[in-house]
Structure 1
Amino acid sequence: MSKKVIADVFLEVANAIESGEFGKKVRIGLTTLGSEHGVENLVNGAHLANSSLFDIVLIGPKVETDLEVVEVNEEKEMHCKMEELLDSGYIDACVTMHYNFPIGVSTVGRVVTPGKGKEMILATTTGTSATNRIEAMVRNAIYGIATAKSIGIKSPKVGILNVDGARQVEKCLKELKDNGYDLEFAESVRADGGSVMRGNDLLVGAPDVMVTDTLSGNIFMKVFSSYTTGGDYEANGFGYGPGVGENYDRKVLILSRASGSPVVANALRYAYDVVKGNVSDIAKKEFVDAKKAKFDDIIASVTKKEVKVQTEEVAMPEKQIVTRQISGVDIMDLEDAVKELWKNGIYAESGMGCTGPIVLVNEDKGDLAVETLIKAGYTAK
């Protein structure tokens, strides 16, 4: 018996002692219709994942296997059966494809980064956490933290990918942290550091949890999964992950229709991890803690922010040499921030630095400009 098998057995015994659930073995479902690579690809993935830690239940057409099969022959029927088995408690989680989550639920992916072979959580990869982009990404951060904790990362470090809205998301998360929410920021591997991440940080896995909008996360998930195969066969990583929400109990994990057997196997193991780690309970607790830290007020300030309407022409002050760079202003607010400085008699220009949008001012006006922008709510710096 290998050391790994022995370790797995002892882990299962320890978990049983802790939970008091002797004799109850975790069951993970896998639906087997819908893959671009056929039923056999999914069944092979199940065989790869087969272990003493959990049982696998296939939901789909009859196949030659020693695994349990709940026989269905149509995709619609398959998902109905999956939900029935989940809601009855017969299976604890299920890995499937093309599942429609309610608004407020998004999937949290798990990849192995190519730079240093480090695992990293991508929050999020499918679904819609909220209809407002900034709120969605803040929620994604909490979903990612909850998922990371469920797989054993006690104090996950969070980075925010440098996409539209990143600086506003950073500001919201910093407010949560200042109000008492337990959140640890990651540092970029680049020399200028910071918690707003760049492509380099994606490749090396600088944070434990990389926060992004779902559409970008979906693209990154596909690239990380299939960059070695040409794109039509996803061979790396753990899949698009469990659907996580503030009050969502079903443990449904998503695969792409292009996912190959290795990813299927890892997705089943990922499902076991989030079941044993109680990801749903952790997510609920994270939101309780976040709301104590004024989550609702912070989100309201974003979603109910009045559109600023210029009622008067703002005169541009006399031009000056601008060498002081002020970062932290979101791209969507950049021009308004410049005009805010003009209104206060400070000449400013907008620009794009290597870490994102910047406001340029004269060196002598730098500190005053920063204070003015903070007061107007354009930057947290």
Structure 2
Amino acid sequence: MASVPSSTTVKASNSTGSYALAFALVTSLFFLWAFVHNLEPILIPHLKKACQLTDLQSSLIDSAVYLGYFIMALPAGFVMKKYGYQRGIIIGLIMYAVGAFLFVPAADTRLYTFFLGALFIIASGCAFLETAANPYVTVLGNPETATTRLNFSQSFNGLGAFLAPVLGGKFILSGIEHSEAELAAMSPEALDSYLQYEASQVKLPYLIIGIVVVAVAVLFMLIKLPSISESQQKTKSSIQSALRHRHLKWGVIAQFFYIGAQVCVTSFFIRFAKFTSDIPEKDAAEWLGWAMLFFMIGRFVGTYLTRFISANKLLTIYSLISAFLLFIAMTVDSEIAVWAIFAVPFFESIMFATIFSLGIDKLGEDTELGSSLLVMAIAGGALFPVLMGYISDQSNIKIAYIVPLLCFFVVAYFGWKGYQPEVQTNSAD
């Protein structure tokens, strides 16, 4: 996931500094936040074991992360405007590193709330990084190549999304998967030893992540980056004014449901693979890594297809294909079910950006506020995994995939009719 620059004009000053070095440092941020976010599907089955959680409880990992984004989005923007992008980035990196280091005492205590708090802090830091990185990249060089630079930087987002499940599966997941009967047969001492071993698996990876992030923060402290400033445009826009645009209102709804669907699909993938096809957790993590690689490839394919198919139609088609794949996953008992979910990220690849661009189309002075509302709609990632976890606990993980399936129908409606610009008026206007 990557935030999108607002419509506010951003320009570089004439201050000295190496644009190439600045670009490299800022681009590293895209990798850092993508990497840590795509460890969440690894943490969900892992902490479910280590802390003996239900599916509902394990889904709170997503809630902690996306609530962190939702709560910190506006404060991050305020800090950037008041203190500048470089200081905002440093604050974000420090929060990110602190959250990563807190995984060590969290593992020692095996307190699930401790883990959730650490994840919330990491997500809060990433909210600062995403708020700064996209507009910063666009001004670090020739304005004519701004889009090319942004696309290049966002490719590192895809690299992080691919590597995180692969490395997380290798270094966090132990591969030890005891049945409930086997756990019940253990002595209290043996059970405690096993659970502590599982919890401790996260300590070294997150310690390394924290050290790397601190190193990046130090570089941002030592190197003077080109300063950038935002033009201050006075508008009369308000939330009420912005939501008079029917297509923006539907865009926010569609984004809310899409992010919920995206998080649900990947967060429970390892659990689903084990339940339906008895695929070991380490192997399932590798599957997920490749699925995220196809997510990245799907962005390029989708961009190419929009030359021949309108964006709203492609969004509708991709949403319906995703829903159909999830229907197959829910109704087939063989490994085909796993392959069906494996294919979904490819079709999800264009959805965030397409919903965003259609949602802010023809908003005029409401564009900047509309952009903020569409980004804040990522709060869907905090709600729908919890609902999915509850359904799984009451039935099973296959049935629980009804949640993202229905979410994709909402996205499909937006691409079919909801995207059409129309200003709603009332008698008070």
Shared fold by TM > 0.5?
no
So what's the TM-score if we normalise by structure 1?
A: 0.24
Name the larger-Rg structure.
Answer: 1
So what's the TM-score if we normalise by structure 2?
A: 0.22
Bigger RCO of structures 1 and 2 (CA < 8 A, at least 6 apart):
2
Greater helix fraction, Structure 1 or Structure 2: 2
Greater strand fraction, Structure 1 or Structure 2: 1
